[in-house]
Amino acid sequence: MEKFTQLHTTAVPLPIEDVDTDQIIPARFLKATTREGFGDNLFRDWRYHPDGTPVRDFVLNNDHYKGELLVAGRNFGCGSSREHAAWAIQDFGFRVVISSFFADIFQANSLNNGLLPIRVSPAFLDRIFQAIEKDATAVFTIDLANQQVTIESSGESEYFEINSYKKMCLIEGYDDIDFLLSLRPQIAEYESSGAQL
């Protein structure tokens, strides 16, 4: 997993609530057996007309908005457990998603891939959207070590929560599986202890 410490970036705004994983990556694009290439179909049905031509006013087709930060409305990533949603967002080039509320499984999937989901207050989310609306090239700083998001144009910042273990994994580029594999003897011991119901 790629290490994550700090990021200065412009942002892509998606002020829509309840964005579900079927919008992020529709099921008909889940036929691949590798993790790569899902970015091409990120938000496919919002991004392209049925005939394959781009939807002009969808934000990913608007050259004014670029950057490694996606800012979205509340309850982002609800719906299915498909990790393809996190892969698609990451493959497209995003490293951070900010929202005021994330669905559980999406959040876990993102963290397991080094994509950082940041939950901010609804008021701060509005401030971020306003900053982007005012200036599409507004820069944001995400400082994982200090758990801070800053709107550079105004200097406003907000602290965000992240599980301390998950934070360490992101900073070190470390996966859960490395840790779990090191516990296999203990897991075997648990199995023979008869603790299960």
Partner 1 sequence: MTLFDKIWNAHIVAHAAGGQEVFYIDRHFIHEVTSPQAFDGLRQRGIPVFRPAQTIATADHNVPTKHQELPIQEPLSRFQVDTLSENCAAFGVELYGLGHQHQGIVHVIGPELGITQPGMTIVCGDSHTSTHGAFGCIAFGIGTSQVEQVLATQCILQTKPKQMRITVDGILPKGVLSKDIILYIIAKLTASGGTGYFVEYAGSAIRALSMEARMTICNMSIEMGARGGLIAPDATTFDYLQGRPYAPQGADWDAAVARWETLYSDADAQFDTEYTFDAADIEPMITFGTNPGMGIKINGHIPRLDEVDSPKNFQKSLDYMGFAAGDSLLGKSIQHVFIGSCTNSRIEDLRLVADFVKGRSIAPHVQAMIVPGSKQVEQQVIREGLDVIFRTAGFDFREPGCSACLGMNEDKIPQDAYCVSTSNRNFEGRQGPGARTILASPLIAAACAVAGKIVDVREMN
Among 33, 51, 57, 155, binds partner 1 (CB under 8 A): 33
Confirm or reject binding of residue 123 to partner 1 (CB under 8 A).
no
Of 54, 163, 171, 172, the residue at the interface with partner 1 (CB under 8 A) is 163
Region from 6-14, 58-66, 129-137, 188-196 binding partner 1, contact rule CB under 8 A: 188-196
- Indicate which single residue of 7, 8, 9, 35 sits in contact with partner 1 (rule: CB under 8 A): 35
Q: Which is nearer to partner 1, 124 or 140 (CB)?
A: 124
**Secondary structure of the chain in HEC code, one letter for each residue:** CCCCCEEEECEEEECCCCCEHHHHCCHHHCCCCCCCCHHHHCCHHHHECCCCCECCCCHHHCCCCCCCEEEECCCECECCCCCHHHHHHHHHCCCEEEECCECHHHHHHHHCCCCEEEECCHHHHHHHHHHHHHCCCCCEEEECCCCEEEECCCCCEEECCCCHHHHHHHHHCCCHHHHHHHCHHHHHHHHHCCCCC
The least distance separating partner 1 from the CB of residue 27, rounded to whole angstroms, comes to 4
